[in-house]
Structure 1
């Protein structure tokens, strides 16, 4: 829940903040507290940035108010599997193929340049497949 905390500033992330109802409840409750200077909620990232005057209000008070609306999240411990991260593989593959294709172009190795270019296009296809929901919006 609490991502970072320095005197006068808290960053909180919680899955419930993606819903307007929860975000509005947190905003209305914290806005009423004396000492809260700024409150920024982002439903897309499920986060809240709370700026406060540490001489007026304590971090523990803010945390307890947040706990009223944001129950403890249990992070599920997923067993590690041998599955591969398609996004990471596609990005690293594109980068490696692009670098190799550029080197082959400088060395005037046309066949190798074409081969790495085709590899780049393959990894680009994988990348677009992974991110197709965002691309096709």
Structure 2
């Protein structure tokens, strides 16, 4: 079975195990070149994929996707997975049932750590630069906040730091 794995206006990637055979992939490439509005076809037998670039202004992208899958079905004699009703630009960003995938907790913690580092760095620099009376406390507190956020960030990326 072949399916569309990536699609943006003007570019489409089709992948399937049937595309690993060099002879069938070359036949598919030849037939895809014959389609209207196709600009370029690149095939990769090792990856089992074909990338089709087309003029997205001249072609209605959705009908061209189906046309490419039908050509692949005729040439290779295999079935294809119909494109999902989710918009092409959103394909791959949604999990099962159409809900958005949640980020891992370590990535959420790292995002917050980077925000705290940026905010505290601004305060540390401002309080250290202007040196108004009574701001020493805020300079110290935000310096420690920066240090704590940096520790979280380094913990999340510890494997990359110690290579």
**Under TM normalisation by the shorter chain, which class is it?**
0.5 to 0.7
Q: Taking structure 2 as the reference length, what is the TM-score of the superposition?
A: 0.47
Q: In structure 2, what is the Cα distance between the partners aligned to 1:120 and 1:25?
A: 55
CA deviation profile, 1:73-112 (whole Å, cap 9, x unmatched): 9986289999853223202321222222321331234312
Instruction: Count residues in correspondence.
Output: 122
Match of 2:123 in 1: 103
Where in structure 1 are there 5+ consecutive unaligned residues? Answer: none
CA distance in 1, matches of 2:102, 2:124: 33
- After TM superposition, list the pairs within 5 Å mapping 1:104-123 onto structure 2: 104-108=124-128, 109-123=138-152
Whether contact under 8 Å (2:42, 2:51) holds in the other structure is: yes
- Deviations along 1:28-71, one digit per CA (max 9) or x if unpaired, are 34420213421246899x883432685xxx72331223465685
- In the other structure, the counterpart of 1:11 is 12
Q: Output aligned runs, 1:31-42, within 5 Å.
A: 31-33=29-31, 34-35=34-35, 36-40=38-42
Change beyond 3 A, Cα 1:81–1:66: closer
| Alpha carbons 1:30, 1:62 under 8 Å: kept | no
CA contact (8 A) 2:95 2:101 kept: no
Q: What is the TM-score of this pair, normalised by structure 1? A: 0.54
